[in-house]
Amino acid sequence: MPRKRSPSKHKRQPVHPVTQEELPLLDLRAPELQPAARPDTSRPADASPRSTRAIEFLLRALPLDWRGKARDLLVLVRMDRPIGALLLLWPTWWALWLAADGFPPWKYLAVFTVGVFVMRAAGCAMNDFADRKLDPLVARTAGRPLAAGRVKPWEAMACFVGLSLLGFVLVLAFTNRLTIYLSFAGAALAALYPFSKRYTQLPQVVLGAAFGWGIPMAFAAVTNGLPPVCWLLFLGNVLFSTIYDTEYAMVDRDDDIRAGAKSTAILFGDADLPILGILMATLLFTLLLVGQRAQLQWPFQIGLGVALLLFAWQLWNMRWRQRDACFAAFRNNNWVGGVVWLGMIIALAMK
């Protein structure tokens, strides 16, 4: 049998104190100030798998060395999450169809549809630039390219400037003087929103104004005027954006509180669901007034009825305020915007 080794030959090594050079390697921050744990920083946690696959398919056309940076820039401007652009697109289409009292001219339909995606992408680049120190502290946003260090701040600003110029060129080339003047206010709102969450508890209202500015621009392009129904519809979009972005903010509420950000989800607190219900009812009433002024017949009221059922489902699904449920409710607003538009175009076709 082998002999046992003498314990004296295996003395415990002394523990060396941490040197001054090793101190920077230790993260001594309080847990609530540490960057959110992110097991996979290759893409944000809320990325759409379907859109991500589409991006990967398109990237095959690029040289291999370019694909990484191109992917990061596309993710920066949320091309992997088209839901935000759709939520911006529906109210813009509402305005185009109402302004034209039916199917809008193809030129304006193309310009404003492309403009929605361009300006939403520009706003996302500015948003990530403004939140470059906040996003690493939030679990859902920690994998964004700028937060994860895959895109530099100057690259995000270059994207914002380039996309904003592209949007302005579309307005300048294909619309009238009133629409061009309004576009400057829209660009200012898009740049202002990302910073509003530091100074106000109502950044979702600022977002609603920025997202809804396409409504007066659409009326200005089609009618060269801004009738009362335009501003009534604009108010409805501010309510709509406040609803869905509050639901979106409820996903991150705990992280935002620790990081010091502001939102209506934090402001509303435990009264969030009742207040959302009031906002939903106010939105539907506002759209009902829009329908009366535009003399829209019963298909539009049916669309509002379906939207009411969708809102009821959202509130029921969020009753326990679970993150996944709040995010599902946020995404469900794409259907709300769609059914309102569908009811509107059928009603306009019947006039």
pTM of the model: 0.85
CB-facing half-sphere around the CA of 268: CA atoms within 13 A = 23
Tell me the average pLDDT across 171-185: 96
pLDDT of residue 260: 83
> CA-to-CA distance for 315 and 242, rounded, in angstroms?
15
> CA-to-CA distance for 270 and 253, rounded, in angstroms?
12
Question: Does residue 287 contact residue 340 with C-beta atoms inside 8 Å?
Answer: yes
For 49-90, how does the pLDDT look when each residue is reduced to its tens digit (9 = 90+)?
888 888 898 899 999 999 999 999 999 999 989 999 999 999
Residue 197 pLDDT exceeds 60: yes
pLDDT of residue 259: 82
Question: Does residue 339 contact residue 310 with C-beta atoms inside 8 Å?
Answer: yes
For 305-314, how does the pLDDT look when each residue is reduced to its tens digit (9 = 90+)?
999 999 999 9
DSSP state for residue 220 in the 8-state scheme: H
Domains of the chain as residue ranges with CATH: 49-54+61-349 (1.10.357.140)
For 6-55, how does the pLDDT look when each residue is reduced to its tens digit (9 = 90+)?
444 444 444 444 444 443 333 434 444 444 444 444 556 667 788 888 88
pLDDT interval class at 300 (50, 70, 90): very high
Tell me the average pLDDT across 287-299: 97
